[in-house]
A and B are shown apart, each in its own frame.
Chain A
Amino acid sequence: MGRYFKNIFDAVRTILIGMRITARHLFTPSVTIQYPDVKLKLPARARNRLYVNMDDCIGCDQCSMACPVNCITIETIKSTSDVDLGVTSVGSKKRLYVPVFDIDIAKCCYCGLCVYPCPTECIKMTEVFEFSEYERENLIYNFATMTPAEVDDAKRKLAASESTAATKPAPASRGTNS
């Protein structure tokens, strides 16, 4: 019998304690923000959408190999010796045309593994996180800057230089680059 009354007393007491806590919170300022109107500043290391600075890309394919979900597609064309593609901002010489540098951002898992191996620090994760699209195709980002004409030009030049190399008595081991 004593237990019965103690239970009732405990129930009332703990309910009142709980009500006091929620009542106190009724008047504490909220911790949430009005998101699209107010935005928090993301920390400097925030890992969101990838960005590739093509001016610095040397087409080394290391980011593509580091990617655990294979979302980066890179194709390269060798440049001929008469063309100077310039140097990157860290001073390494560019030797490859990069006609295709696609990132399927829909596949990307934002792990950041592609960022670390890049020798020229041209691929990085930005603070942009609002990039939803209605079509999934729009999430395949083409970073390559070459126009189709330039690609054809580069391919033709390479083919020409290889054919001239092939006519010369050159070492047989030198295969054609597709």
Chain B
Amino acid sequence: MKELLVDLLGNELLVYVLMAFVPLLWILPFALFAVWWERKIAAHMQDRLGPMRTGGWHGWAQTIADILKLIQKEDIIPTAADRLLFSLAPFVVFIGAYTAFAAIPFSAAYVGTEINIGLFYIIAVSSFVVIGLLMAGWSSNNKWSLFGAMRSAAQVVSYEIPIALTLLAVVMIVGSFDLQEINRAQSGSILNWFIFQKFPLLFAAALIYFVASLAEVNRTPFDIPEAESELVAGYHTEYGGMKFALFFLAEYANMFAVSIIAATVFLGGWNSPFGEALSGPLWGVFWVLSKSMGFVFVQMWLRWTLPRLRVDQLMYVGWKVLIPFSFVIILGVGFWVLLEG
């Protein structure tokens, strides 16, 4: 894909810039759509209708209207806030969420950067987000924001460990950090998908990854950094207008990022579930996106079902449940791989 574009345009730098914008083409409409989708799912799970007016058909344009409203709003920076960090924080959070997409393969033919440590890179840059959250919480000069930021830092740092460990289990089988390599290792039949391999070890790994990823992106039941009923709005209490919208965008981009990683690593990525049928570069885009949307749906489903944990219980789940189980899985997969030769 990249070589093709370089031939076409003749300038390598231009191609890089162009390719950097490709995920944005998906993320922006996705965030708009997902916010609307989440509201509709929430509403129907609660026997309500949700947005129905804007745009005509089931209020599909509601988020567009919301974004227009947010753009028009006054950009308020509290007097006591640290102006530089306060303004920078939403961008840092969004950049942290967005850079992960550089290494995510959307199809057999398209991946932003074909680096052979793709998975490692994604784990590394996604922890960048926490710096932005800490910046937001600290610079707001609001105790509630600070609480949110501190909770968020503790949470993201703890839950990155089970995420890394479960992904490591797959890496041990494939023998590569390259996501395209992981995808190719799952091609063929649906049974080659890692979630069905080494049963039940990798199934449990997928489950642990999913639970930990909920915490990573601050979704219920792990949404304590922005726990509405406790911390008002957590680290973004003082934010309004476009800066708030950026936080929101980053949250949905992050939701999608962890889902697409789950789809890639455990659900065969761009591989078709029907073996060779319906496969190909474009079908690949369809499959990987629909698998990740499935994960996004489950995230929303959980959010509108469950209460949230307390901060110490969150640490309990992370350190005393997920991490020991991840180690057991790693050990099990290691022995399995060793015995298979």
Interface residues in chain A, defined as those with a beta carbon under 8 Å from any beta carbon in chain B: 8, 15, 18-19, 21-23, 25-32, 34
Contacts and interface: CB of A to CB of B under 8 A. Distances in A.
A25 B45 contact: yes
B305 A28 contact: no
Contact of A31 (B47, B52, B305): B47
Given A22-B301, A27-B44, A32-B48, 12 more contacts: A8-B321, A15-B305, A18-B306, A22-B45, A22-B304, A23-B45, A23-B301, A25-B47, A26-B41, A26-B44, A30-B48, A32-B49
25 contacts: A8-B321, A15-B302, A15-B306, A18-B305, A18-B306, A19-B301, A19-B305, A21-B305, A22-B45, A22-B301, A23-B45, A25-B44, A25-B45, A26-B44, A26-B45, A27-B44, A28-B47, A29-B47, A30-B44, A30-B47, A30-B49, A31-B47, A31-B48, A32-B48, A32-B49
B43 interface: yes
Interface of B: 41, 43-49, 52-53, 301-302, 304-306, 321
Contacts of B48: 30-32
A21 B45 CA distance: 9
Nearest to B207: A12
Contacts of A29: 47
Contacts of A34: 49, 52-53
A27 B45 CA distance: 8
Main SS at interface, chain B? loop
Contacts, number: 39
Given A8-B321, A34-B52, A22 B305 contact: yes
A79 B17 CA distance: 91
A15 to B, nearest CB: 6
A161 B304 CA distance: 77
A21 B305 CA distance: 8
A30 B43 contact: yes
A143 B74 CA distance: 45
Contact of B47 (A15, A18, A19, A32): A32
Contacts of B46: 25
B113 to A, nearest CB: 37
A30 B304 CA distance: 16
A79 to B, nearest CB: 55
B264 to A, nearest CB: 24
